[in-house]
Amino acid sequence: MKLSVLAERLDGKLLGPDRNAEVAGVSTLHDAGPDQVCYYGNRVYRNLLASTRALAVIVGEVVETSSPNTILVTHPYKAFREALLIFRRETPSGFDGIHPAAVVHGGAVLADNVTVGPGSSVDYGASIGSGTVIGSGSHVGPGTSVGSDCMVYSGVNIYHDCVIGNRVIVHSGAVIGSDGFGFVPDPRGHLKVPQNGGVVIEDDVEIGAGCTIDRAVVGNTRIGRFTKLDNLVHVAHNVIIGPGCLVAAQTGFAGSTTVGSGVTFGGQAGIAGHISIGDRAVIAAQAGVSKDVPPGVTVSGYPARSHEKALRMNAALIDLPEFRRRVLDFLREYRKQEEDGR
């Protein structure tokens, strides 16, 4: 694609002499070659602007760069995403339709254009919508519904009586519908609480590799539309996560917590059970949230508190050794003066 055409596709303004140069792909500021474009949007990488060999850099403002061309856009990261889509390499599977090594129960219902890879199984009463791909070695349990145009990668286990919406992506190693962690203490040992509910994954959700989403005791564990879970996220029984949330890796939700819409969770955040997190709240990385978070509030630290307060406390901790030394010096001087006064 000519550079000028790419700039038009990105709704950008091309600054530079090489309008007719051919673009071969997208790379990073560090690795881009003279026939590739790259993206600059974080000042951490500003020093690389002077050494990049890229044909053009996608930017949100005019910058000085060794690249002969820049593409000036309103939203650089969004334009970068569009460029990645344009130059995305197709990775078609060699398997199409229902593989002979797949096991599909006669009581399952599969729509047109469904792919079920080798070693996968679709159990009794399950249904799979049009255009959905079930990768190799995956399992769709009895009574589970998977919508249209979903991508279930290899090695995914979806238990019984789950509902998966349309255009859902589930990465390898994810387990959906496993039993929640519920036991009653008893002299004979811990008695398992039956987990009789289900899991509902709404449309356009993405579930990262190695995620575990437990089924409800009764009712449903629910992941709202357009919510994205990073790898290794755990969602316990009866948790409700609203639409449009972003959950970074290794975050864990204890049971029966309710999360509003548009909430962001940093990596390794821990969320206690039976609490509520309001719309558009931000939970910082490694925060330990033990009580309700109001809408729009940013919290951090352990236990989690308002981010501003947590920053002040951290700043005070930095000064604590020096403060302690000064107090001890004062006490020694005070005692010396007392002794001299005697």
Report the run of H or E that residue 5 belongs to, with start and end. helix 3-9
Place of tokens 């409700």: 240
Give the Cα separation of 339 and 327 in Å (integer): 18
Sheet of strand 240-241, all strands in order from the earlier edge strand to the far edge: 109-110, 127-128, 145-146, 162-164, 198-201, 220-223, 240-241, 258-259, 276-277
The catalytic residues are 237
User: Which residues are paired to 159 by β-bridges?
Assistant: none
CA 101 vs CA 84, 95, 136, 303: distances in Å? 35, 11, 9, 51
Q: Which two tokens stand for residue 231?
A: 């790898």
CA 223 to chain CA centroid, Å, is 13
Q: What would the two tokens of residue 263 be?
A: 């909430």
Closest to 201 in 3D by CA, of 218, 226, 179: 226
Q: What is the DSSP letter of 122?
A: E
CA distance 23 to 5: 10
**How buried is 268 (Cβ within 10 angstroms: 0-12 exposed, 13-18 middle, 19+ buried)?**
middle
The per-residue DSSP string of 161-219 comes to TEEE-TT-EE-TT-EEEEPP--EE--TTSPEEPP---EEEE-TT-EE-TT-EEEPPSSS
For residues 236 and 253, give the distance between their C-alpha atoms in angstroms, rounded to a whole number: 6
Cα→Cα distances 207→101, 126, 134, 259, 313, Å: 26, 20, 14, 17, 35
Q: Are 29 and 66 in contact (CB under 8 A)?
A: no
